[in-house]
Amino acid sequence: MEGVVKVYKPILATSTECVEEVKKALGVRKAGHSGTLDPHAEGLLLICLNSSTKLIPYLLNLDKEYIGEAILGIKTNTGDRGGVVIESNLNRKISYDSLLEAIQDFKGKIKQIPPLYSAIKVKGKRLYEYAREGIDDVELVPREVTVYDFDVLYLIDENIQKFGFRIRCSKGTYVRRIIEDLGERLGCGAFLSKLRRIKIGPFDLEDSVKPWDKERLNQAILSNEEVVKKIMPVVEITPEEESKISRGISIKSRFPLEGEVGLFLNKTLVAIAEGKDGVIKPLRVFKT
């Protein structure tokens, strides 16, 4: 069994737990996901089965889209609702216009420091492990990410102000860090109270399946061919070219190709390759 499943991760489950549930439900030996969702977030996970785990690096590179909600005037130590309140500033009310103006600073290419409560590794250890040990002086390097769209959906002004948003961003973007930094920009603090990933590249939540639903999981598997056609250009190669590609040998390109490309033989995925300077170099080879 191979292919990719669109899985709906529920709140409080970890991404790893979802992978294990899928492995158990489908009886597969190997599986992996294409981008972590925090435990307090929900939504789309792409889980690759067996040899389809070779697709993970290419799925990781896809843009992500989320809808969410943030609380203004309160800060938590994790930046989301799973943390402990460390500061409250509920008397400062933010206008809709001020919110819209501040959000403009978080569009385009931005630098962000990863949250201490995150799975990024520093010196072989995940950041959340440092945080749980009370070590907060870990040197964190700002990372450049891109926010393509960041829109306010609503602003509710009750006892506690909260706003809904939609955001589309590049891989590696921490949405809760954006919300934390936005709170600092507004001078009131903020934390992420809800987050749902609704899209990864061309893949959306439609027909996504709970990780333990064996019957629906079996029906929802996308083939390698379906997936690759959605994320990169594809070309048909000849049997002679396939013979070389399957042994990891580069071939001369008959096409004006630059960048990643899916190579097919008789409509079956043979390899993912890189086209450059008239040469096609195999990167990941699949059994045919």
Please indicate, yes or no, whether residues 221 and 238 belong to a single structural domain of this protein: no
**Strand duo 121-122 + 125-126: pairing:** antiparallel
Place of tokens 């630059």: 258
Burial of residue 47 (number of CB atoms within 10 Å: 0-12, 13-18, 19+): buried
Predicted confidence (pLDDT) per residue in 192-220, tens digit: 999 999 999 999 999 899 999 988 999 99
Domain count, the chain: 3
Predicted confidence (pLDDT) per residue in 4-59, tens digit: 999 999 999 999 999 999 999 999 999 999 988 999 999 999 999 999 999 999 99
Catalytic residue numbers read 38
Residue 110 pLDDT exceeds 80: yes
Please indicate, yes or no, whether residues 110 and 205 belong to a single structural domain of this protein: no
3-state DSSP helix/strand/coil % of the chain, to nearest 5: 25, 40, 35
Mean pLDDT of 122-144: 70
Please indicate, yes or no, whether residues 191 and 75 belong to a single structural domain of this protein: yes
Please indicate, yes or no, whether residues 196 and 70 belong to a single structural domain of this protein: yes
Please indicate, yes or no, whether residues 131 and 45 belong to a single structural domain of this protein: no
Nearest partner of 193 among 3, 40, 85, judged by Cα:
40
CA atoms within 13 A on the CB side of 239: 0
Q: Which domain holds residue 171?
A: 64-200
Residue 256 pLDDT exceeds 90: no
> What whole-number distance in Å separates Cα of residue 192 and Cα of residue 178?
9
Residue 257 pLDDT exceeds 90: no
Of the three residues 157, 184, 200, the one that is the final residue of a domain is 200
Give the end-to-end CA distance of the chain in Å, rounded to a whole number.
13
- What letter does residue 54 receive in the DSSP assignment? G
What's this model's pTM, rounded to 2 decimal places?
0.91
Nearest partner of 281 among 266, 258, 144, 5, judged by Cα:
258
Please indicate, yes or no, whether residues 216 and 250 belong to a single structural domain of this protein: no
The per-residue pLDDT for 164 is 98
* CATH number of the domain bearing residue 41: 3.30.2350.10
Please indicate, yes or no, whether residues 79 and 179 belong to a single structural domain of this protein: yes
Mean pLDDT of 175-191: 96
